[in-house]
Chain A
């Protein structure tokens, strides 16, 4: 087991992913335990994607979508927020702290905001420590890699 909680960021291609890119271009630092996973829209993120992350030993999940009213697909981010709330309730039933999951909104021009929400999420998960389902660092990283491949296949192929 490793010491630092691993946080997976499900990022919308049209905002959070670009903002993360901008944060990098601006040389802004954000916690190194954030792993970014790109989706075409947060509306594409289903409950099983989030649960799969926790099952694979990730310690926290942040879903980052466009500003409300600014979704490229009109209301994908609004759907994502409702799904996140539903998964939070399910996490409580499972026995995992719901605070390990959060939804954020930002625009593609907000590099500093991406760095800020990444820090906020890291600070939120830090006191909770590793997930009760935590695995070794290598297993978690492999799981995230698998999720990246699966997400890409879904995006390109339409379904898993």
Chain B
């Protein structure tokens, strides 16, 4: 899932300070699961923003809240269309994709982010989420026994480990596992540690930060006349 955490209240307050009516919109998908932008968090943030605005002399600013099923898909934004007309600005508690989807859908409306989108990750333990995928576009997890060195090695080494791994921990932080220790342990447990002796080729970044914004197209799923755009 996409993991995010909330922005500080003063930052959001300063973004909306020139507006009279603000709608805070939560998202019922990833950010609900990571407890950053679901229905409950939207209520909390809305309440906090109202109080903050009042103390800043903007007590007449209306802040309302609502949460939709998913912000990153236009069909789910439909339910907001009429309601958004009643507001000057929208604060999205969705991830960066959700914020941009709302901005595209409501061209004349100010749309602000209420969260800082962090990474794609998993729930490690109750209340703890960790990054697992960098979305490089050329997955090599099969080669690394299910542990991604591009994401989880601090130096992103494809041929590791470096010389600074100590007791299974990374030199960056004693709380960070050495990805290469994990890879080696898993390879050994599978009886395939010898596979790590071969030198891995450099990553092909042409599928990642190359050539502008990325797009995935399934032509068989496209509706005639509606895409894909060149």
Contacts and interface: CB of A to CB of B under 8 A. Distances in A.
Interface of A: 46-48, 51-52, 54-55, 90, 93-96, 132-133
Given A51-B44, A94-B51, A95-B52, 19 more contacts: A47-B44, A48-B40, A48-B44, A51-B47, A51-B48, A54-B51, A55-B50, A90-B44, A90-B48, A93-B9, A93-B52, A94-B48, A94-B52, A94-B55, A96-B55, A132-B55, A133-B51, A133-B54, A133-B55
Contacts of B50: 55
A96 B53 CA distance: 12
Interface of B: 8-10, 40, 43-44, 47-48, 50-52, 54-56
Contacts, number: 39
B51 to A, nearest CB: 5
B interface: dominant SS: helix
Contacts of B52: 93-95
B58 to A, nearest CB: 12
- Chain A interface main SS type: helix
27 contacts: A46-B40, A46-B44, A47-B44, A48-B40, A48-B43, A48-B47, A51-B44, A51-B48, A54-B51, A55-B47, A55-B50, A55-B51, A90-B9, A90-B48, A93-B9, A93-B48, A94-B9, A94-B51, A94-B55, A95-B51, A95-B52, A95-B55, A95-B56, A96-B51, A96-B55, A133-B51, A133-B54
B9 A52 contact: no
A96 B10 CA distance: 12
- Across chains A and B, which 4 residue pairs bring their CB atoms closest together, nearest first? A93-B9, A95-B55, A51-B47, A94-B52
